[in-house]
Structure 1
Amino acid sequence: MLIDRRAFAASSTALLAGCATTGGTGISRVADCTPLAPVKVDESRVIRTVAGLRPYRASGFVVRAEALGDKRLVHNYGHGGAGITLSWGSSKLATDLGLPGHRGSVAVLGSGVMGLSTARLAQEAGFPVTIYTAALPPDTTSNVAGGQFHPFGFFREGSATSEFKAQYLRALDYSWRRFQIMVGDDYGIRWLPTYVETGSPDAREIANFPPINRMLGMAEHPFPLDSVLRYDTMYVETGRYLRQMLRDFHIAGGKVEVRRLASPADVTSLGESLIFNCTGLGARDLFGDQELQAVRGQLAILEPQPEVRYAALGRFGYMFPRPDGIILGGTFERDVWDATPDPADIARIVRDHQRFFEAFRCTA
């Protein structure tokens, strides 16, 4: 394991005592005895709803080089719900495959988080880069992401090979270290304590992600759960982050050409001899990857609540607090290609979170 586990040490192991009272509005109100403020969940506080299509492959993401005519093509796509998390590390694997021995300029297909990370690494290595993309931020799938550093959506089928897990851990290690040096308001990245329901799919995924601080029993937390896992991780305000990444790319001399590439022939017509494919779901049609499928994730975003300084995940869904709003999610809809929020699903997400946070209890 490459990750320095000491970096995951918790700053405090104090017991958490919590209580809440419920006002007449049905919104939980926090009392003085808990350091964790319950989220004020109510339909009236929803400021927008969105749905994103995760580029998911059951066997894992693709980082692979091949010839395409007289071009060298390096694939970097299929990260499911962990695109933000693995962006720097997966892009490092891809550029390590493509850049050594290359001379001349570089093309990157796609301007989501994977394309921008790949482009920036190529620039840092001294190469001129052009991004070819059908859409720019904020109109990319990455803009819809919740932005948690967490391996969401992997290892659910239990079919990952040992080779894939090794690739995943290399990518995770580099991303973990890279994001740490970007923490702050410029990129919209911050650390938060995170609480995960024991036994939930999220808790099982965390078995492949080392920074578990400790397990908390019922007397140590205010959640309506028997036990939770607590760890610290980073959260990305995706809109701000992608704007800054694109700004960095332009400052470093990068060029962007907005055009849709419909076939491999369109790709071979590009002037660059080294091309990185970071098209996400677009790789299904562009390069015939039929294993790639959309997994829809729907979000309800509440008005910001600055006193909420933690995240929570479990069977009820997930809650990530960001400066641009409180993110509520909870769907993993396989092979759904419609990026339109479903009002019934959104209502369920809000309702499930409302019940969860209204059930905060006193443990003191």
Structure 2
Amino acid sequence: MNRRAALKTLGTAAGAFLLDGCMRRGSQVVPGHPPELLHLPRVDVRPELEIRTVVGLRPFRPSGFVVRAENVGDKLVVHNYGHGGGGVTLSWGTSELAARLVREASGARVAVLGSGAVGLATSRLLQERGYSVTIYAKDLPPNTTSNTAGAQWYPFLVYEREHATPAFMQQFVEAAGIANRRFQLMVGERYGVRWIPNFYCSPDPYTSGRFAPGNPLHQFLVDVTAIEGPSNPFPLPYVRRVQTMMIEPSIYLPALMSDFFVAGGKIVVQEFHSPADVAQLSESTVVNCTGLGAHALFGDQELTAVKGQLTVLMPQPAVNYAAHFGDDYMFPRRDGVLLGGTHERDVWTLDPNPDAKQRVLAEHQQFFSGMKA
């Protein structure tokens, strides 16, 4: 969906919505009862409520993430990186695939490079297999890319269709399924994972994309429901509600760190500049979870940065839903309301973009001011 088209519709949409609500069950759309207006609190998008703007660089590869093993000198290096905008979402899945490639006997020492969501998930899965794990990382939470993630459970910006092979797509769907099941087991206060409704809003009917049966992740969409006609409070005519998990990085990552330490894990703060540095480690097996760092460390020239920026507003506890329209999205978290909508490819700077911030604020103000009370 085009952001410009969505905003044009925002400016003209009134109350003339013609379709009744309906619920998708599998691949069927079943008409529902005559709906009433769905009452949702508007997000207060006043600029004075901003508490911070954060930038993260998504480690993107057009052909998708890398999970494979190779020999580097006398080391077995298992790669697990390049997740694009799906690092938190896919972490437990690709880490399971990576852990299967570790051939050491149980009890052996294994090194993990990186302490973001992927590195921590990999480390925990190796510990669950009986390995003694040391994490080597330049940065630790809360100073990782994972800490700046929106962290809604759904893989986003992971690959480009024309570059993805059938083998990768099989790996992608398997990883998504593993991760989805693991996060379901983590729902609750301890890990900061919860189910919330997400509303996808469009000026055009949903005939393709994530809500079409051809979507390879269609099976993971829970309770897809059309919110249209009189029930629709949003200023765009076509709305789909889906239930999904929201992960709070400020809770989730410290909880994983705690689990890692309780299981006997160790952390060494260290930066690596070349495979020769990796070869100096005492462990014979190394799992590479360096994300964007693999571009320089292992010479992956396909790997590039896609800059994302989030403007965070004061927490608004009454807002317990997510909304998506055009390129923009709003995620409610305990540490603030996240407003996003930027994807700057091949931009490697962590400096905030003031123009992008103003655009995102203005578009969210327009959207939420147009909601029906």
TM-score tier by shorter-chain length is 0.7 to 0.9
Provide the secondary structure at the position in 1 that maps to 2:360: helix
1:278 and 2:282 equivalent? no
Question: How far apart in 1 are the matches of 2:189 and 2:349?
Answer: 33
Runs of 4+ displaced beyond 3 Å: 13-18, 99-103, 154-158, 198-201
Alpha-carbon shift at residue 104 of structure 1 (Å): 1.6
Query: Secondary structure of the residue that 2:71 maps to in structure 1?
Result: strand
For the structure 1 residues 280 and 6, does the alpha-carbon distance in structure 2 shift closer, same or farther, using more than 3 Å as the test? farther
Residue 17 of structure 1 contacts residue 222 of structure 1 at CA under 8 Å; is this kept in 2?
A: no
**Which of 321, 336, 348 does residue 310 from structure 1 map onto?**
321
Cα distance in 1 for partners of 2:305, 2:130 equals 35
Tell me the equivalent position of 1:245.
256
* TM-score between both structures, scaled by the size of structure 1: 0.88
Code of the aligned partner of 2:174: R
Measured against aligned partners, the alpha-carbon deviations of 1:218-277 in whole angstroms (never above 9, x if no partner) come to 433211111122111100111111111111111110000001011100001100011000
RMSD: 2.1
Task: Identify if the C-alpha distance between structure 1 residues 258 and 16 changes in structure 2 by more than 3 Å, giving closer, same or farther.
Answer: farther
The residue aligned with 1:65 is 69
Aligned residues of 2:106 and 2:129 also touching (Cα < 8 A): no
Task: Say whether residues 1:115 and 2:119 are aligned partners.
Answer: yes
Aligned to 1:93: 97
Contact map agreement 1:316 1:352 (CA 8 A) in 2: no
**Paired residue type of 2:88:** I
CA contact (8 A) 1:200 1:314 kept: no
Structure 1 position 170 matched with structure 2 position 178: no
Question: Which 10-residue stretch deviates more, 331-340 or 216-225?
Answer: 216-225
TM-score, with normalisation over the residues of structure 2?
0.86
Q: Please give the per-residue CA displacement for 1:13-59, whole angstroms capped at 9, x wherever unaligned.
A: 777644xxxxxxxxxxxxxxx43111111101111100100000011
Alignment-derived partner of residue 30 in structure 1: none
Structure 1 residues not aligned, in runs of 5+? 8-12, 19-33
- 1:216: Cα distance to partner? 2.8
1:80 Cα deviation from its structure 2 partner: 0.3
Q: CA deviation at 1:307?
A: 0.9
Letter of the 2:178 partner, please give it: Y
1:103 CA displacement:
6.1
Identity, % of aligned positions:
50
Distance in 2 (alpha carbons) for counterparts of 1:155 and 1:105:
33
Relative to structure 1, the CA distance from residue 200 to residue 136 in structure 2 (aligned partners, 3 Å threshold; closer, same or farther) is farther
Matched residue of 1:297: which SS?
A: strand
CA distance in 1, matches of 2:178, 2:35: 33
Q: Once the 2 structures are TM-superposed, how far is the Cα of residue 141 of structure 1 from its aligned partner?
A: 0.5
| Distance in 2 between residues matched to 1:122 and 1:109, nearest whole Å | 13
Greater mean deviation of Cα atoms: 102-111 or 186-195: 102-111
- Residues 41, 353 of structure 1: 8 Å contact kept: yes
CA spacing shift, 1:257–1:200, aligned 2, 3 Å: farther
* Structure 1 residue 163, shift from structure 2 partner: 1.1
Task: Give the distance between the partners of 2:243 and 2:229, measured in 1 at CA.
Answer: 19
Tell me if the contact between 1:99 and 1:122 (Cα under 8 Å) persists in the aligned partners.
no
Partner of 2:198: 194
2:342 corresponds to which of 322, 328, 331: 331
1:45 maps onto 2:49 in alignment: yes
Q: How many residues align?
A: 337
Unaligned runs of 5+ in 2: 1-23, 27-31
Cα offset, 1:316, TM superposition:
5.1
The residue number in structure 2 matching 1:208 is: 216
Shift of residue 93, structure 1, vs aligned partner? 0.4
Larger deviation: 159-168 or 132-141? 159-168
Whether the 8 Å CA contact 2:107–2:130 is kept in 1: the answer is: no
Match of 1:294?
305
